[in-house]
Amino acid sequence: MLTSIDLFAGCGGLTRGLEWAGFECLAFNELNKDAADTFALNFPNAIRLDGDIKEAVSKKVIQEKIKPLIEAKGGLDLLCGGPPCQGFSNIGHRRTHKLEKREIPTNHLFHEMIRVIKELKPKIFLFENVEGILSGKWDKKEGVKGEIFRDVWKSFSSIRGYTAQPTLLHAYGFGVPQNRPRVMIMGIRNDILKKSNLKPVKFDPSRDNTTFSSQIKNNGGFFPTWNENEIDAPDLIDVLSDLDFTGWSSEKPFYKKKARTDFQKFLRENNITNEKGKEILTDHEFSKHKEHVVKRFKFMLDNNITKKSDLPVDMQTKKFNQKPVPAKWKIKPTITVTSLPDDYVHYSNPRTFSVREWARIQTFPDCHQFSGPRTTGGSRRAGNPTEGNWSRDVPKYTQIGNAVPPLLGKAIGERVKQILPKI
């Protein structure tokens, strides 16, 4: 079995996908306790390194805990990490009270990942982040579009002993029912690369100072590719039709319906059972919407409302992007799972999605359990950077919204497996 370590691990979306591909996670680092609890709940054999990466994965910890474990397992195949992306995404940056991105401490954590790479020297490393990093600039007035990614790329591509390649992958190209692009940088240790006869696709950051999307999208090389003319992402009804709506604020611990599609059957494999062998359905409880909210949702569904301006004035709210999602895609997925459950209205019920439904759309299997509160809001969600408060609550919806879709992680893991056996 191949080995991995996950930094900035969140609730374990990438590691779940790597597990499907045949990887064993040896250790993980996560700052937030709720997300770390979720990860540990699902991967109990991985060493838990809670807290700020500077301390949790210090040189001393690496020498005393991590390296002996790696040596016992015969080496480290993959070190992966997705440093917090709030400051690289447009939505996330809005919640930082308009601070310049250079001032946001989390935007510089990729340097800590590089430090760990240099210490552990894995065969392959993988950095992942949001598409917004490609066009982001450090300063709104004086910055240049693309400068953040140029700096990130320079840092990772300069790691001695490695050859790196960036890419932009779209989750729907790998069976994920979402419009969810992810930027990745993969570095292969040169001794491994030499034996593999694999060549990276060249990337020239000086070519474009606006966006690098067209240059690196679906570019192959180190990464898996997909056919953009044959998108095979399941429709939402194929993902969720076996999950009943059981009423407001109600939780039914068992499935009432059998899996109806191959996608549902896949996500229900190895599910949690009770002492009688009956499958338990977790995290499928519903928000108790107020009567006027239900009325608005029903109006949106009945009239296919997708813009706030199309709602009657008395139904309009400050919510800028709330819209129903279709049961079936016309061409490709239109939903992006976020940290906010009320961004979307269910395709057939006047309500938001349950945590389990949210996790399904992200391609988490039903056996993946989540720890912590269901949701939260206000300053607890965003912190208050202007007052030096960078802490954020990471409830279940947020954990899911921040995650790498496991099916995308599986595709990455399978590609790494293709590279390493050639050695």
Count of domains for the chain: 1
**H-run or E-run covering 39:** helix 33-42
Give a yes or no: residue 222 inside a domain: yes
Tokens representing residue 181 in the block: 């692009």
Active-site positions read: 85
Q: What is the CATH number of the domain that holds 118?
A: 3.40.50.150
In angstroms, rounded to a whole number, what is the distance separating the alpha carbons of residues 85 and 92? 7
| Contact yes or no for 405/180 (Cβ under 8 A) | yes
Q: 237-254 in b/e burial notation, b at 16+ Cβ within 10 A?
A: ebbbbbbebeeeeeeeee
* DSSP letter assigned to residue 233: P
CB 344 within 8 A of CB 325: yes
356 within some domain = no
**CA atoms of 352 and 297, how far apart (whole Å):** 9
Total-model pTM? 0.91
Residue 288 placed within a domain = no
Residue 75 lies in a domain: yes
What amino acid is encoded at 103 in this protein?
A: E
- CA 408, CA 406: separation in Å to the nearest integer? 5
Domain of residue 162: give its range: 2-230+404-422
Cβ partners under 8 Å of residue 195, min gap 6: 422, 423
Tokens 């991590």 -> residue? 66
User: Does residue 107 lie in a domain region?
Assistant: yes
pLDDT in tens, the chain (423 residues): 999 999 999 999 999 999 999 999 999 999 999 999 999 999 999 999 999 999 999 999 999 999 999 999 999 999 999 998 555 544 444 444 455 555 555 667 999 999 999 999 999 999 999 999 998 888 877 788 888 999 999 999 999 999 999 999 999 999 999 999 999 999 999 999 999 989 999 999 887 756 799 899 999 999 999 999 888 899 999 999 999 887 765 566 788 899 999 999 999 999 988 888 888 899 998 888 999 999 999 999 999 888 888 888 888 887 666 889 999 999 999 999 988 878 899 999 999 999 999 999 999 999 999 999 988 665 445 444 444 444 567 899 999 999 999 999 999 999 999 999 765
**Distances in Å between the alpha carbon of 49 and those of 8, 55, 230, 328?**
10, 9, 41, 42
